[in-house]
A and B are shown apart, each in its own frame.
Chain A
Amino acid sequence: MAKKLPDNIDEIQTEVIETDLLIVGGGNAGCFSAIEGKKINPDLKVTIMEKAHISRSGATAAGMDAINTYIPEGKTPEDLVRWSRSQVGGGPIREDLALSNAKELNQAVDDLEAWGLPIVKNEDGTFKYRGAWDISIHGEQLKPIMAEKAIEVGAEVYNRVVATSLLMDGERCVGAMGFGVKDGKFYVFRAKAVIISTGGACGLYKSYTSDATNSHHQTWMCPFNVGTGYAVGIRQEAEMTSMEQRWVATRTKDHCGPVDTISVGYKSAIINAKGDRILQKHYAHLGGDKAPRYIRANAPMEEWLAGRGPTFVDTTHLSPEEVKELKIDYLNERPTFVLFLASRGQDITKDPIEIYGSDPYIVGGHTQSGYWVDLERMTTIPGLFAAGETAGGSPNKFVGGCAAEGKLATRGAINYISSVSLPELDSKQVGQEKERVFAPLLRGPEFDGVSPLEMEERMQRLMDEYAGGTSQFYRTNEERLDYALKHLKMLQSQVIYLYAKDLHDLMNAHEVIDRLDVAEVLTHHLKFRKETRWQGWQTRSDYPEINPEFDCFVESRRNKETGEIEAFTRPYEQIVSGDRYKP
């Protein structure tokens, strides 16, 4: 029920919490981080700061139907890295990170099974593979299972507390701040080390269904993950990597649900209006049905552009038993796809499933955009670690890899904790952040300003049309990127006009503020990479070819003094032998 809103900043209570290890975002990676912390040292104080409620939050809120990576018998972590590298067109990827993740991966998945996750098995008891690396699960309860374990081991959980910034001691991160979206308090968490695991960024771009009544959030990625984890680091001059490598995927049309379930799990070919098998016909030289992920993601949209849409995954060969299994897969992961088919009265053995491109996301557990981290998963800010979608450099992590990385980040953080102590609380910094956070709520009823939704829609349309969104078939050029940057700056300068009617609205206000900071960095990265390396994920119509000079990482830092984003490169290092372009 509506809580009485404060009239001034002094009415807002500040709560200060001290802990050893703070985890910001109790999702897939965050829960694993917490559990690992308690396992290594039961006396360690582990605290989770979570925007939603950890029982159903983030990407896995609806459940999952597969674990996309689990190393089968006879294959090695190096093989997984080779596959992952080939999926992003030979990289560059951070092979050091990818390899360490791969070595930890199977144990994390085995943990899930031990905690009660049903994994689909063959008759001989081995895991049932859907493709080369992915296993099928009945993961409707995946998130509650992880959350219950985190609580059971004794992690202290603050639900409904939205992180808005890092707490700093000079260059070092010593906690995080935020506000309670239900209780209206200001929270200061002081910690010896912080793991940021807030998931990816959805809603930077307009989704093509967003104009439909009640479908603003008909997105594939969880729309409540808005990129805050990246934004808080960007504002503290953290180095970000590969932010131009957006994740764009083929998704069910008008619903934006996963498609791998059908195309990989049920060997259904991607076809165009004429029934041509697109990948075999146009992309045979790149591997056909096994072409790199961005090619497969982009191919249906190229058909639409060429006048050969609509596009489908051809399910007309499926038996009734297979249709039933396929629907169960969706019920485990994105249940409303079954409802959607029912709302079209569609029999998928007669009418194939229509597909289309998604809006672009920043998700470092899929592509490799995010924080530049070292092997311990420490970012360039001492004391701040990243895991899951927030950590850049190693793509194709998904559920298992994000879980594995959660563990690795905790080990890194615990090593770090042994050499540090908590500095005194900087009350000036706390006061300033409190003022910034609550400003949109305290502007008074007469204030003539801008609502969070208005600003969000302006930003999403801008990004869609100028920074390579779905409506532009993901293409952009120098002039459009300059236009986007100019208007992003104007939007940032208008943040002072944002007003919030209540605490939920205040959360929405900070969501758009954070998205603007991520969008700006991403646009600078797109501008810096003057080539087209990953069509769809990153398409420059003015530089349509690969330029070997860009066989490196594009990095950036937002200069704290000038507010300018400085882009630079880092070299690629091949660690795992073999042809980079082959799995």
Chain B
Amino acid sequence: MPPRIDIEKCDGCKAQEEPLCEQVCPGGLMSLGENMKAYCRQLRDCWDCMACVKICPVGAIETRVPYQLGYHVAKLIPMMGTDTVTWTCQDINGKVERFKYRNRNDAE
């Protein structure tokens, strides 16, 4: 299930040495193109772990279900807080669900 990048939103992580999505991809799939926008070098190789989606500071990345597996168009959008995460999911019929929970406690 490959990432889909909104190049209007992506700011290339403001020329940081290594953009965040590139840093976290466990398969090393994300990179910056000549245009300083992120791209996934091999859509078929994505493991849909959503690490890149979660870390993008401007919400430029979305995971898409390939059409052979699922219908058009469902969305799952995470919002990362410091110790909580909120997910919004919209199904193909427009039904929206929201999930919010704590993903970190303070270390002892």
Per-residue CB contact flags for chain A residues 59-88 toward chain B (1 = under 8 Å, else 0) read 001100000000000000000000000000
* Contact A342–B90 (Cβ < 8 Å): yes
Within the complex, the shortest CB–CB distance from A127 to chain B, in Å, comes to 14
Interface string of B24-67 (1 = CB under 8 A from A): 11111001111000000111111111110001000000010111
Query: Taking A214-B43, A218-B1 as contacts, is the C-beta distance between A55 and B76 under 8 angstroms?
Result: no
- Residues of chain A at interface, number, CB under 8 A: 54
Confirm or deny: A293 has a beta carbon within 8 angstroms of a beta carbon on chain B.
no
A340 interface contact, C-beta 8 A: yes
The proximity string for B residues 71-90 relative to A, scoring 1 for CB distances below 8 Å and 0 otherwise, is 10111101000000101011
Q: Is the Cβ of A52 less than 8 Å from the Cβ of B26? A: yes
Task: Kindly identify which residue among A118, A160, A345 contacts B71, using a CB–CB cutoff of 8 Å.
Answer: A345
| A62 surroundings in chain B (CB, below 8 A) | 47-51
Q: How far is it, in angstroms, between the C-alpha of A114 and the C-alpha of B45 when the chains are bound?
A: 35
A116-B2 contact, Cβ under 8 Å, with A62-B49, A343-B65: no
Question: At the interface, yes or no: B14 with Cβ under 8 Å from chain A?
Answer: no
A218 to B45, CA, bound (A): 9
State whether B69 touches A338 (Cβ < 8 A): no
Of the stretches A327-335, A390-398, A517-525, the one at the interface is A327-335
Q: Which of B91, B92, B104 contacts A145 (CB 8 A)?
A: B104
B28–A181 touching, CB < 8 Å: yes
- A115-B107, A116-B104, A327-B99 given; A218·B69 CB < 8 A: yes
Contact indicator B1/A215 (Cβ below 8 Å): yes
The yes or no answer to A527 lying at the interface (CB within 8 A) is: no
What is the bound-complex CA distance between A224 and B42, given in angstroms? 13
Q: Across the two chains, which residue of chain A brings its CB closest to B103?
A: A140
Selected contact of B103 from candidates A52, A138, A216, A343, CB within 8 Å: A138
B: number of interface residues (CB 8 Å): 56
Assess the A214–B47 pair: CB atoms within 8 A.
no
B68 interface hit (Cβ, 8 Å): yes
- State whether A339 touches B89 (Cβ < 8 A): yes
Q: Which chain A residues lie closer than 8 Å to B26 at the CB level?
A: 52-53, 56-58, 61, 222, 224
Q: In whole angstroms, what is the CA distance A117 to B105 when docked?
A: 6
**B 97-108 binary contact with A (CB < 8 Å = 1; else 0):** 101011111111
B69 in complex: contacting residue of A52, A113, A215, A224, CB < 8 Å: A215
Known: A61-B51, A339-B74. Is A160-B65 also a contact (CB below 8 A)?
A: no
CA–CA, A343 and B92, complex, Å: 6
Does A242 sit within 8 A of B, measured CB to CB?
no
Contact A116 B25 (CB under 8 A): no
Contact of B76 among A1, A160, A218, A338 (CB under 8 A): A338
Contact of A327 among B18, B25, B43, B97 (CB under 8 A): B97
Q: A62-B51, A140-B85 are in contact. Are A342 and B91 (CB under 8 A)?
A: yes
A118 near B91 with CB under 8 A, answer: no
> In the complex, are the beta carbons of B101 and A138 less than 8 A apart?
yes
B99 x A336 contact (CB < 8 A): no
Compute how far the CA of A210 lies from the CA of B74 in the bound complex, rounded to whole angstroms.
21
Binding site for B on A (CB under 8 A): 1, 51-53, 55-58, 61-62, 113-118, 138, 140-141, 145, 160, 181-182, 209, 212-219, 222-224, 254-255, 324, 327-328, 331-332, 335-336, 338-345, 504, 507
Provide a sorted-by-A list of 28 A–B residue pairs whose CB atoms are within 8 angstroms: A55-B23, A55-B24, A56-B24, A56-B25, A56-B55, A58-B26, A62-B51, A138-B101, A140-B85, A181-B28, A213-B66, A214-B44, A214-B66, A217-B46, A219-B47, A224-B27, A327-B97, A335-B50, A339-B65, A340-B1, A340-B69, A342-B90, A343-B65, A343-B70, A343-B74, A345-B92, A345-B93, A504-B28
A-B pairs with the 7 shortest C-beta distances? A343-B70, A212-B68, A342-B91, A342-B74, A62-B49, A343-B74, A339-B76
Question: 9 extra interchain contacts, Cβ-Cβ under 8 A, other than A61-B49, A61-B51, A224-B27?
Answer: A52-B26, A56-B25, A56-B49, A116-B106, A138-B101, A215-B44, A217-B46, A327-B89, A340-B69
